[in-house]
Structure 1
Amino acid sequence: MTVSESDASFAEPPLEDVIVEMRDASVEFGMDRGQSRVLNEVSIDIERNEILGVIGESGSGKSMFASALLDAVPAPGVTTGDVTYYPEGGDPVDVLGLSKAELKQLRWEEISMVFQGAMSSFNPVVKIRTHFVETLSAHDYNVDRGLERARELLSDLYLDPERMLESYPHELSGGMKQRVLIALSLVLEPDLLVMDEPTAALDLLMQRSIVSLLEEIKEKHDLTIVFITHDLPLVADVADRLAVLYAFEFAEIGPSEAILENPAHPYTRALLNATPNLSAPLEEMRPIEGESPDPVNIPNGCSYHPRCPLADADCVDTDPGPYDAGPDHDVHCHHWKQSIDDIDVAFAESDDGRTVQSAVAKASGEPLVSLSDIEVRFGSENDGLLDFGDSEVVTAVDGVSLDIYENDVLVLVGESGCGKTTLGKTAVGLQTPTEGSIEYRGRDVWEGASGSTIADKEIRRALQIVHQDPGSALNSHQRVRTILEQPLKRWHPELDGNDRIERILGMLEYVGISPPEDYIERYPHQLSGGEQQRVALIRSMLVNPDLILADEAVSALDVSLRVGMMDLMIELQDSFDTSFLFISHDLSNARYLAEKTGGRIGVMYLGELVEIGSAERIIHDPKHPYTKALRWATPELEPDEVDDPDESPIRTIDIPDQKNIPSGCRYHTRCPEAREICRKQDPGMIDLSDDTRAQETACFRADDDHEYWESPPIPDSSD
């Protein structure tokens, strides 16, 4: 498995200690409309024992870069160029010249890969042990020795080895499956681990915990790690170097500290500015204008020039080669020196009057929607014809009360399974509560309801939803015209066809989809993710609702699009006097939305609301330990400005089973501040509001006179 003698010049070892060398690598797919180049003559050296963070928007070529490293581009894709692997103490390996048998050996034994979707990586009908055994056997590896290594790896990842090995994939949480997949990828002792968006589907706490483990895993198992992600803050704190992909080629490669503090490429700076975070002023956050290039029609010269405020004729005509921007820091920009000094000014001048000041609270008057002691339970509680024997009941929401006002913005945050989406759907009449009541302007939402359908048509019109995934929320068989005409036909029958089209065209223009006459005839698959989400937002706004539930409405978008979409929602709220109930697992997005509108953030844990208040209080002065844990887990571009990244504020990574909720304070099993009384008593909400800022928290520590302070601490080893 070495390069041939005819390739001797290519096989010369690099000067540095490099484990993989890529030169002029391209990946192309033949399409009806032309040749699609999804990796464009990329060159990079991956250094041994480093963590290399590869950053870029969706469609920038990140996954194709990962696949090219292993010569694993799916057919009919064609990979060209050179990829050389340098095993320690062995001969160089021409990866693109290997046979299928040699590639099979390379991919698990030398270079291993962790994919984004952990669930799709497992066979659902066999136990985890079988996955390890099959992998070991396929590579003629000693199974007993391999299983011992598997147990060691699982333990290193804070998992119970025997429980994991004897479980089926569906019996594990998403975080557990992802960690098991990491262990499986390392069981054959590879030298290089490629991780393609390995934490994209995980909650903040799980993301932070897994990323924090990478450094330990790297040192203990002598690994080189390539961490591929669209989330720059996530990897910024652990990566030794960062490589920024734009339009299928690297725009900038350099030490993490240098790129974060002095980015030399305008796109890198734009990406940093577009990333919501907890510490930066709102005026420094701005979307990246324009769209990424089509792989069939990559611009000549610098591929970023159509979106760059510094672009000139040289940028249009000449492809910028790598310029030396400092030690081990290369940048593909003709004007990189000017970019470092002037790019923020250029971006600010191109904002065209964009409003970014924090707003004062606009919510006022009587509550628009009131939820009182809401409980929502799922499962079979009674015997009957439709009872299939599953008597386990899951309480998704347990005793939550809150009010939403006119022109209000409330953002619910928390881990998956905490009940925030169920509570949101209950608030807009899409989920029938098991107990409790919901009122819209003082009227019972479910009065006279037939099954799960609200009887009052006015209430149904007033309460709308924007789903997380616009691709699945829009009918793929209908044009934009038909999708947007349907709500108008139902709720505004007085409008004729011309009036409907004029209103639709006006809304498309308003949200920046132009020319609207072109887009109105397109199908959803012909729109970008951001355009799909705008159409979904228009559909909900066309009926003039009073409250919109935005369920993770920006989480599926690239980080470069999130600020722009949130700005649009805030602008629409101002124009249409609509209230928003946002659902988010991302505290940075919650901060941006709530702080800019003067709204509130509510924190949910295992079905309960544990803290609620103004953005300033929740972000900068949280009182509940769980809120503090979420803040710790939120990645920052400047981690020194937040809590100590090495001091984890949780006892255990994994959230308790919803079918076996802890007694007392539900968070006590994970809370480092928990005391014995927390096992027994459920803390009610304590009001900490003052004249200017609202805050309520469900924690004994907020009461200086509570008996909590005399209660003995729960030992660290306690469950």
Structure 2
Amino acid sequence: MTHSEYDAGSRRDSHSETVLEVRDVSVSFDMERGESRVLDEVTFDVHRDELLGIVGESGSGKSMFASSLLHAVVDPGVVTGEVWYQPEQGEPVDVLSLSDDQLEQFRWEEIAMVFQGAMSSFNPTMKIGEHFEETIRAHGGEMDDRMAHARELLSDLYLDPQRVLSSFPHELSGGMKQRALIALSLVLDPEVLVMDEPTAALDLLMQRSIMSLLDTLQDEYDLSIVFITHDLPLVAGLADRLAVMYAFEFVEYGPSERVIRDAAHPYTRALLKSVPSVDTALENMNPIEGESPDPVSTPAGCSYHPRCPLATERCVQEDPEYRSVDPGQEAACFHWERSRDTVAYDLGTETTDEPPGEPAPVGDDETVVSLRDVDVQFDQSGFIDKLFDEDMTVRAVDDVSLDIAENEVVALVGESGCGKTTLGKTAIGIQEPTDGTVAYRGQDVWEAKRGEGGLDHDEIRRALQIVHQDPGSALNPSRLVRTSLAAPLKRWRPDLNPTDRETVIHNLLQRVGMKPPEDYADRFPHQLSGGEKQRVVLLRALLMSPDLILADEAVSALDVSLRVEMMDLMLNLQEMFDTSYLFISHDFANARYLAEKSGGRIGIMYLGRLVEIGPAAQIIHDPRHPYTQVLRWATPPLDPDAAAEAQATEPPVREIDIPDPTDPPSGCPFHTRCPEARDVCQRERPDLFDADNGSRVACFREVDSHEYWDSEPLADDETVSVDEVT
């Protein structure tokens, strides 16, 4: 179908510098409590061949803006306004007037979209190659040429085309599925690629690798990219322009470097100040006070005025127009010239090169939980595997020893599947180890469960608690907040009468900022925001008076603007309840904030092994293990110059994808990806050695006299698996 076949309505002149024109576009949903407007009369242009980064908190309207570009807002949403697509050749296209049949063609040939959940984008009963063939066939493409193009795209995305095309979706990792989805979206050579949080569920290394690849793909295929994310540092070094959304409209936009380095709108500045960073001084990271507005009752005037320190009566009464701040940079704020002095932030440029100081003291001396030589194995062999005597055992935790002291914070960081969660569950007695021991205050946890030893197992279970990533699934939807919080008090504080319990609950809700506490106590989970649910879950765990809480990705589901606030709350409550945290995260910045601020430690896991552990400042600023250095590289800096420099460098790994955990490498598990690997690394497995920076590192490079230094560097194709050795 050619462009002229689309019903363009009232035709407009094509502007070569603009590929998409959005005019007064609104998206609304009728709800029982009123009209919910999730996009509010937005007017905006997307430039040709640019990468536009759209950032903002969850619920700000980013995804609705993306969906409106393709006229893909789901029912019963109503879209009004105009969206014009300006092709390089042919007539402009009025997107919102296209029929369903025309949209099917338009969405793949002209504008393609990549969603966050790659798994839900693929039919689980079809191989990946069949998805490509179906798409090409539906659009009348030449099959051989397009499939050759698909293989080229997959190769560009560091994938083996033959393996990927012949695999079912479940046979690929999350990162591989996401890259395959990007290739699928580009197979028909669209002019515009809209990406809605495409890397949010991926590990740091995979996120950073995909972002680097986008820069290459944009140049190679002449793409205009609209990249939507809540993670501002992720696009800092890559986007040509940034547009910041708040309350269903753009409040500021302009050249990426200019917006980050000298933001004009007080919300943009507050957002930059709230983002957890590995470079910014801890005291310079602060949450945004207040909450985002309800789409049913958006404030009159400037929508940000209830949270803005600069707000005046004019802000309450009038909706500000855009003010020109700098060439190409505009902000919808009456007081943008004063925002620089009122909302100060830094990008970490002054602290990046500072050497770490002396290691902070670690907790109290008494050990709460001690793991010794712990192994955890899972047999994933299916019926067919057993018929052919194939071993599909995954060693999720591999010979790990770890002590957690009283009032200590230990943060575990690593890629998905590295064993972080399994080790955490083992530490709190949920997962029984295949080998090794787990002790609580000297008592073997699993012996206590069998009725052996001096400590009662119920007492151990009370002392070892967990806070999950998804607080919604951890709360009973039919129970009021007061009922959920009263349950642990009834069991473990029988001395409290109902009035005393009510007082304790109200005091704690007040302490964590849920005011008025009487109101929040009478709410159901669905009446709470994500951050409020996480507070309730944390309070419920703490009301057990635990000695250790496993916080498994406890802040990753929250907006970046809420993460610092939640981690500060965790540390404040730690002082109140005298508890320790085992904090699990795939995000280095979150781990750094919680561990370094508390004087705790960071541990790095890889394929079930603890490869480095030490004081947070040392791990962040002076990483010793090559894998830790990779994770540090993959953590995007906020400073535009540092981000651009890092974006231009190749990933410091030999292979992007993690090895198959059912067939792990011999010797050092990281040698297949390590740029420093030598022959001895594939034959011997390093123990944790004491490094001179106060950390412990499982790398031969820490031992000056080791034969590593006389060993030959590995060629790229020299990798050996455990099975080949044994």
Query: Which TM-score tier does this pair reach, normalised by the shorter chain?
Result: over 0.9
Measure how far apart 1:706 and its partner are: 1.1
> Which residue number corresponds to residue 611 of structure 1?
612
Deviation at 1:4, TM superposition (A): 6.7
Partner SS, residue 242 of structure 1: strand
Please report how far the alpha carbon of residue 546 of structure 1 lies from its aligned counterpart in structure 2 after TM superposition: 0.8
Question: Equivalences for 1:419-458 in 2 at 5 Å?
Answer: 419-450=419-450, 456-458=457-459
Partner of 2:33: 33
Residues 124/204 of structure 1: CA separation in 2 closer, same or farther (3 Å cut): same
CA–CA distance in structure 2, aligned partners of residues 359 and 617 of structure 1? 8
Report the residue type matching 2:198 in the other structure: P
- Asked whether 1:659 is paired with 2:662, we answer yes
Q: Tell me by how many angstroms 1:68 deviates.
A: 0.3
Please name the residue that 2:203 is paired with. Answer: 203
Amino acid at match of 2:501: R
Per-residue CA shift, 1:87-113, capped at 9, x if unaligned? 111110001111111111110000000
Give the Å deviation of 1:641. Answer: 4.2
Equivalent residue of 2:514, what SS?
coil
Query: Quick one: distance in 1 between partners of 2:556 and 2:293?
Result: 22
Matched, 1:550 2:587: no
Q: CA deviation at 1:380?
A: 6.3
Counterpart in 2 of 1:489?
A: 490
- Deviations along 1:587-629, one digit per CA (max 9) or x if unpaired, are 1111111111100000000000000001111011111000000
* 1:679 and 2:679 correspond: no
Residue aligning to 2:222: 222
Question: Structure 1 residues 296 and 451, CA, compared in 2 at 3 Å: closer, same or farther?
Answer: farther
Query: What is residue 258 of structure 2 aligned with on the other side?
Result: 258
Contact kept, 8 Å, 1:86 with 1:92, in 2: the verdict is yes
1:389 Cα deviation (Å)?
Answer: 9.2
**One-letter code of the match for 1:518?**
D
Decide which moves more: 436-445 or 304-313. 436-445
In 2, the alpha carbon distance for the partners of 1:308 and 1:714 equals: 57
Measured against aligned partners, the alpha-carbon deviations of 1:300-331 in whole angstroms (never above 9, x if no partner) come to: 11111100001101111111111111111111
Aligned pairs for 1:281-300 (under 5 A) are: 281-300=281-300
- Worse-superposed segment, 606-615 or 98-107: 98-107
Counterpart AA for 2:311: A
Determine if contact 2:477/2:526 at 8 Å carries over to the other structure. yes
Deviation at 1:716, TM superposition (A): 2.8
Shift of 1:12: 3.0
Indicate yes or no: 2:653 matched with 1:650: yes
Contact 1:668 1:679 in 2 (8 A): yes
Q: Name the CA distance, whole Å, in 1 between partners of 2:389 and 2:487.
A: 41
1:476-497: CA deviation from partner (whole Å, max 9, x where unpaired): 1211122111111222223222
Aligned-pair CA distance for 1:448:
3.8
Aligned counterparts of 1:382 and 1:44: Cα–Cα separation in 2:
53
Inter-partner Cα distance in structure 1 for 2:629 and 2:582 = 22
Q: Take 2:74 and 2:667, find their aligned partners in 1: how far apart are those partners?
A: 52
Aligned identity (percent) is 61
Give the C-alpha shift of residue 20 in structure 1: 0.3
In 1, Cα distance between the equivalents of 2:363 and 2:273? 29
- In the alignment, what sits opposite 2:602? 601
| Aligned equivalent of 1:317 | 317
Superposed, 1:450-599 pairs within 5 Å as: 450=450, 456-599=457-600
Q: Distance in 2 between matches of 1:12 and 1:152?
A: 36
Tell me the distance in 2 between the aligned counterparts of 1:21 and 1:49: 14
Give the match for residue 354 of structure 2.
none
Tell me the C-alpha RMSD between the 2 structures: 2.2
CA separation in 2, counterparts of 1:6 and 1:262? 41
Structure 2 residue ranges without an equivalent (≥5): 347-356, 720-726
Aligned 8 A contact 1:359 1:595 in 2: no
* Aligned residues of 2:359 and 2:617 also touching (Cα < 8 A): no
C-alpha distance in 1, partners of 2:181/2:382? 39
Residue deviations 1:486-525 (CA, integer Å, cap 9, x gap): 1112222232222222111111111111111111111111
Deviation of the 1:639 alpha carbon: 5.5
Question: Whole-Å Cα distance in 1 between the matches of residues 468 and 343 of structure 2?
Answer: 36
Match of 1:621 in 2: 622
- Quote how far apart the aligned CAs of 1:390 are: 8.2
Amino acid at match of 2:413: V
Q: Tell me, in whole angstroms, the C-alpha distance in 2 between the residues paired with 1:380 and 1:7.
A: 60
Normalising by structure 1, report the TM-score.
0.94
* Maintained 8 Å contact 2:242/2:253: yes
Distance 1:410 1:374, change over 3 A: same
Query: Would you say the 8 A contact 2:14–2:87 is kept in 1?
Result: no
CA offset at residue 359 of structure 1?
10
- Equivalent residue number for residue 350 of structure 2: none
Quick one: distance in 1 between partners of 2:451 and 2:228?
47
| Counterparts of 1:440 and 1:253, CA distance in 2 | 54
Scaled by the length of structure 2, what TM-score is found?
0.93
SS of 1:12's equivalent in the other structure is coil
Give the match for residue 393 of structure 1. 393
* Unaligned stretches of 5+ residues in structure 1: 347-356
1:98-117 correspondence runs (5 A): 98-117=98-117
Amino acid at match of 1:651: R
Output the CA distance in 2 between the equivalents of 1:101 and 1:320.
40
Secondary structure, counterpart of 1:446 in structure 2: helix
> Contact conserved, 1:155 with 1:161, CA < 8 A, in 2?
yes
Q: Within 5 A, what are the aligned runs for 1:27-176?
A: 27-176=27-176
Deviation at 1:364, TM superposition (A): 2.0
Counterpart of 1:628 in structure 2: which amino acid?
Q
Is 2:310 the counterpart of 1:326? no
Once the two structures are TM-superposed, the CA of residue 680 in structure 1 deviates from its matched residue by: 0.3
Which residue does the alignment assign to 2:353?
A: none
2:379 corresponds to: 379
Offset of residue 201 of structure 1: 0.5
- The residue type paired with residue 470 of structure 1 is P
1:274-299 per-position Cα deviation (integer Å, ceiling 9, x unaligned): 11111111111000110000000011
- In 2, Cα distance between equivalents of 1:122 and 1:477: 34
Q: Is contact 1:374-1:399 (8 Å) kept?
A: yes
Tell me, what secondary structure is at the counterpart of 1:657? coil
Counterparts of 1:337 and 1:170, CA distance in 2: 53
Q: Which residue is equivalent to 1:308? A: 308
Of residues 645-654 and 466-475 in structure 1, the stretch that sits farther from structure 2 once superposed is: 645-654
Separation in 1, partners of 2:191, 2:381? 52
Q: What SS does the corresponding residue of 1:677 show, helix, strand or coil?
A: helix
Contact (CA 8 Å) 1:358, 1:596: kept in 2 or not?
A: no
**Whole-angstrom distance in 2 between the partners of 1:621 and 1:471:** 38
Aligned length: 700
1: CA distance, partners of 2:716 / 2:335: 55
How far apart are the structure 1 equivalents of 2:512 and 2:504?
13
Q: Which residue of 1 aligns with 2:273?
A: 273
**Could you say what secondary structure the match of 2:368 adopts?**
strand
Q: For the structure 1 residues 176 and 382, does the alpha-carbon distance in structure 2 shift closer, same or farther, using more than 3 Å as the test? A: closer
Counterpart position of 2:722: none
Alpha-carbon deviation of 1:458? Answer: 1.3
Give yes or no for contact 1:136–1:188 (8 Å, CA) kept in 2. Answer: yes
For residue 404 of structure 2, give the secondary structure of its aligned residue in structure 1. Answer: strand
The amino acid across from 1:145 in the alignment is D
Q: Secondary structure at the match of 2:449?
A: coil
User: Residue 352 of structure 2 aligns with which residue?
Assistant: none
Q: Look up the SS of the partner of 1:76 in the other structure.
A: coil
